[in-house]
Structure 1
Amino acid sequence: MSTPLPTGNETTAQASQSTLQWVKITGDPGDADHLDPSDFPEGGVKAWSTALGAFLIQFCGAGFTTSYGVFQDFYARTYLTDYTPSAIAWIGAVNALLIFSVGLVSGRLLDRGIFRLSSPVSLPLYAVTSEAEWIFLSQGIGSGVAIGLTNVPSVAVVSHHFQRRRTLVMALVITGPSIGAILQPIMLNNLINGGLGFANGVRVSAGMISGLLLIAYFLMHTRLPPQPKAISYTRVLQNSWRDRPYVCACLGMAAFDVGLFFMLFYLQLDSRLHGLSEVFTFYSLTIFHTGSLMGRLTAGVVSAYVGIPNTVVGCSVISSAIVFSMIGLRSVTSAALIGMSYGYFSGGFIALIAPLISYLTPEDLDIGVRIGISFAMTGIGSLFGAPICGAVLTSHYIWWRPAVLAGSITTCGTIFFVSMQLILKFRQKTAGGGIV
């Protein structure tokens, strides 16, 4: 899901609409009876094992992708020294884009009843990541497709087993990406830079991920029948582009992701090249993701008091300022403050993406598709953000340049969010308090 990726609330919101869409599309009273809330297990071995399997997939997929800063650091300083930072960043950028794009396809396959094929297909793709010499094809494309195949279906299938407890269970499942993003950078840094070296270290990581995915495959079970008809993306897209607040939100999300992926890819490398200790730089991404987890956990509480759009604007404004502050990264204290603070406010922003799109969508049936469209827009920022920042960084590592560029683009995103809020306020005023 802006997952840093679509690995949290974005996919949760899309999944939470699955059952509702199925009932409304069929229009069959018998189907509605079958999906009566009292008919959901709300527990039991299959239900909780499915939730555990979904957690493992989220831990592996998003945790691996958001650890790319470890690889960016290692590739730039040791393994791919003949390549520019921009060229290296394309590996992680394409990986992130594929998670968004393939997720749209795999989510629809789940609706059509094709679920248990995704994990067996993804397993060899993870294995290829650990063996192939062509890093871009294996890590960029192979693991991107693998994670995209499992990301959305793993969360959506939880809605087959829970109705009353769905929000709670999905909240537990989507802690997987945050925990994976905290632990996997530590593991990768110690494996790659320790005694095992790059090749064996990546093999160990891929082996662990493949093993956990195999366990998840046997743990997860579908329960509801396939949807007989899918929502039309074309119809919703045509309507969405006439909705100015929604368009502003999508453009703002794409711009925000430029700063997000600049931080994700370059924070560890920046810390290391400024002479900070190896021990600290190994934990710089963990500090970032710990802040992100805290931001995600508190964003809902804050938005309940000040409103979702206002909270999104506030997180975006502060995040933009923190991106500019990368210019002043010189010490352990500054790196820790930047990582923790940006992680917190960007995490709060990410947690509210799906609620924001839901807030901006008048028809319940369109929420899942609108979130999917916003994924595609966000993917543009994730694809081009880090490579463009790497290009202005150059091989001489002039750090103020990408900080200014990423901060400026993120500020443009803030302007889009402010515009969104102004349009909403105007609509509320002219419509007597309701969004039209």
Structure 2
Amino acid sequence: MTGSDYVEAGDPCKRRTKAGSPEQVISSTDKDSDAPDGGVKGWTVLIGCCTAMLATYGVTGSIGILQVFWINHQLKDRSQNAVTWITGLNLFLNLFLPAYIGPAFDRYGTRLILGLGSICYVFSFVLLGECKQYWHFMLDYGLLNAISSACISTVALSTPAQWFQKRRGLALGIVCAASSVGGICIPFLLDYTLAELSSPWAMRILALVTLVLLAIANVCMVERVRSQGPWRAVGLRWLTNPRFMWTTLGTAFILVFEFVLFSSISLIPSYAAGQGFTASQGSTAIAMLNAGSACGRLFAGWASDRLGQFNIMVCVLAYTSIITACIWMFVYHSLAKLYVSIILFGAGSGSIISLAGVCFGQLCKTEEYGECWGTAYLFVSIAVLISVPTGDALLSRLGGQGYVACSAGILGAAFIAFLIARWSVLGRRWTIMVKV
């Protein structure tokens, strides 16, 4: 293989057909090539995206603590499976709604969507402290919090793609790592406030923290380009693009990866309790998962810019499958082994969120990124809707080791699916030494 072949295969705008002639995938790349890839404005925007993700996905990464608290207090008359449907609905809407919010962002920009989402998001935590009945939690956390969180996170994940092209993987890795930082800090905040204060005051403090973070996001974040095409609620036209469909299928076994990730986030306290560990040790395990995730996202984003997004995605999936199957299954009742396994697992599993975003960024114009990414996650959301309740049932029926074995198998399927996605993007070739 020649050097020119290597460079062209890694170019997001072209690929070779079987005959070897270049095929145009993206009709216009002027706006991509104009991306500053940094600068004062670019990095300022990235800071805003980071604080937005810290406030939204950072809380999502700590939801297992709130779930255990609800089961032991306000919702103690409800089964654990019933309570997990609250978090399951929240996660579903967080991934389903970008199919509609993404095109709106492409067309109208950040201000309106981010501003309204921020107000409702902060207010949802104030209300959460006053919830007493099951339907209160379902309406507030399952609906209001989820809708507002989806507005914020969609804008935060779509905006970096407009400001970064050559370093897009690193930019998205930094943004996604910020959510992991939230997942490190917020568990300790919740652990302390829920134990020392009343639930209403714990939620008010959380609301204040998110208010400060989202205020920074609203000041810093702004779009660089807007789509001039008609607004489409869902980009169904992407379904005719084979490269998009294979990538979505890969993400759809990363939809099953989402099953592993979000089930792990919500059920780690339950898993730890089943292994004989305390609630505090379960909270520490969540923080360690997010710490490993932050490191993994930064490294994977940096590496994907140099070696190719699909290449790194395949490697990370293989690594995470092996780590899950060979290490986490043999934790038993050792606290040290649990912590080490969760950190290693987090380093792999956390990377896939940011890598999925940059993989889709290779398939579309900059001003269409929100629509492309949102449409793909329309399918991902369906699996997430059932991920937490199903994961809880599997944990109860199979036990800790059986649950982890099932997770490893699902990640193995995701690895195979992304190999096929990579093959499709390369024009149905199994070339190895190529950047893609």
Q: TM-score range by the shorter chain?
A: 0.7 to 0.9
The answer to whether the Cα contact below 8 Å between 1:313 and 1:417 also exists between their aligned partners in 2 is yes
Cα distance in 1 for residues equivalent to 2:35 and 2:339: 49
Question: Is residue 191 from structure 1 mapped to residue 193 from structure 2 by the alignment?
Answer: yes
TM-superposed deviation, 1:94: 1.7
Amino acid at match of 1:330: H
Which deviates more, 194-203 or 268-277? 268-277
Q: Which SS does the other structure have where 2:186 is aligned?
A: helix
TM-superposed deviation, 1:171: 5.5
Identity of aligned residues (%): 21
TM-superposed deviation, 1:125: 4.0
Over 3 Å counting, the alpha-carbon distance change for 1:92 and 1:229 in structure 2 is same
Question: Is residue 336 from structure 1 mapped to residue 333 from structure 2 by the alignment?
Answer: no
Over 3 Å counting, the alpha-carbon distance change for 1:301 and 1:155 in structure 2 is closer
Question: Is residue 151 from structure 1 mapped to residue 146 from structure 2 by the alignment?
Answer: no
Structure 2 residue aligned with 1:9? none
TM-superposed deviation, 1:78: 4.4
Q: Which SS does the other structure have where 2:276 is aligned?
A: coil
Residue pairs, 1:214-363, within 5 angstroms:
214-221=215-222, 227-230=228-231, 233-240=235-242, 245-246=246-247, 248-300=249-301, 302-303=303-304, 308-324=309-325, 325-326=328-329, 328-358=331-361, 361=363
The answer to whether the Cα contact below 8 Å between 2:269 and 2:283 also exists between their aligned partners in 1 is yes
Over 3 Å counting, the alpha-carbon distance change for 1:341 and 1:215 in structure 2 is closer
TM-superposed deviation, 1:400: 4.0
- Equivalent position to 1:98, from 74, 79, 93: 93
Q: Which SS does the other structure have where 1:390 is aligned?
A: helix
Amino acid at match of 2:359: L
- Equivalent position to 1:124, from 109, 120, 123: 120
Structure 2 residue aligned with 1:43? 40
Q: Which SS does the other structure have where 1:70 is aligned?
A: helix
The answer to whether the Cα contact below 8 Å between 2:97 and 2:378 also exists between their aligned partners in 1 is no
Structure 2 residue aligned with 1:61? 56
Question: Is residue 112 from structure 1 mapped to residue 68 from structure 2 by the alignment?
Answer: no
TM-score using structure 1 length: 0.76
Structure 1 residue aligned with 2:388? 386
Over 3 Å counting, the alpha-carbon distance change for 1:56 and 1:400 in structure 2 is same
Structure 1 residue aligned with 2:9? none
Counting matched residue pairs gives: 401
Amino acid at match of 2:125: T
Cα distance in 2 for residues equivalent to 1:425 and 1:226: 28
Question: Is residue 86 from structure 1 mapped to residue 81 from structure 2 by the alignment?
Answer: yes
Map Cα deviations across residues 17-51 of structure 1 (whole Å, 9 max, x no partner): xxxx99949xxxxxx79x9949999436xx66544
Structure 2 residue aligned with 1:417? 418
Cα distance in 2 for residues equivalent to 1:55 and 1:166: 14
RMSD, matched Cα: 4.0
Map Cα deviations across residues 305-346 of structure 1 (whole Å, 9 max, x no partner): 875444333332342344453464422112102210110111
Structure 2 residue aligned with 1:7? none
Over 3 Å counting, the alpha-carbon distance change for 1:246 and 1:23 in structure 2 is closer
Q: Which SS does the other structure have where 2:40 is aligned?
A: coil
Cα distance in 1 for residues equivalent to 2:412 and 2:160: 37
Amino acid at match of 2:395: L
The answer to whether the Cα contact below 8 Å between 1:43 and 1:162 also exists between their aligned partners in 2 is no
Cα distance in 1 for residues equivalent to 2:364 and 2:149: 31
Cα distance in 2 for residues equivalent to 1:204 and 1:38: 38
The answer to whether the Cα contact below 8 Å between 2:37 and 2:167 also exists between their aligned partners in 1 is no
Q: Which SS does the other structure have where 1:428 is aligned?
A: coil
Q: Which SS does the other structure have where 1:117 is aligned?
A: helix
Cα distance in 1 for residues equivalent to 2:59 and 2:283: 15
Cα distance in 1 for residues equivalent to 2:95 and 2:424: 28
Amino acid at match of 2:145: S
Structure 1 residue aligned with 2:207? 206
TM-superposed deviation, 1:123: 1.5
Map Cα deviations across residues 81-103 of structure 1 (whole Å, 9 max, x no partner): 33333322222222122222223
TM-superposed deviation, 1:137: 1.6
Over 3 Å counting, the alpha-carbon distance change for 1:53 and 1:357 in structure 2 is closer
Q: Which SS does the other structure have where 2:394 is aligned?
A: helix
TM-score using structure 2 length: 0.76
Amino acid at match of 2:70: Y
TM-superposed deviation, 1:413: 2.5
TM-superposed deviation, 1:215: 4.3
Over 3 Å counting, the alpha-carbon distance change for 1:408 and 1:160 in structure 2 is closer
Map Cα deviations across residues 231-267 of structure 1 (whole Å, 9 max, x no partner): 7812221234x87643541332112111112211111
TM-superposed deviation, 1:185: 1.5
TM-superposed deviation, 1:184: 1.3
Cα distance in 1 for residues equivalent to 2:295 and 2:143: 31
Structure 2: tracts of 5 or more residues without a match: 1-11, 13-24
Structure 2 residue aligned with 1:29? none
The answer to whether the Cα contact below 8 Å between 1:70 and 1:188 also exists between their aligned partners in 2 is yes
Cα distance in 1 for residues equivalent to 2:198 and 2:61: 21
Structure 1: tracts of 5 or more residues without a match: 1-12, 14-20, 26-31
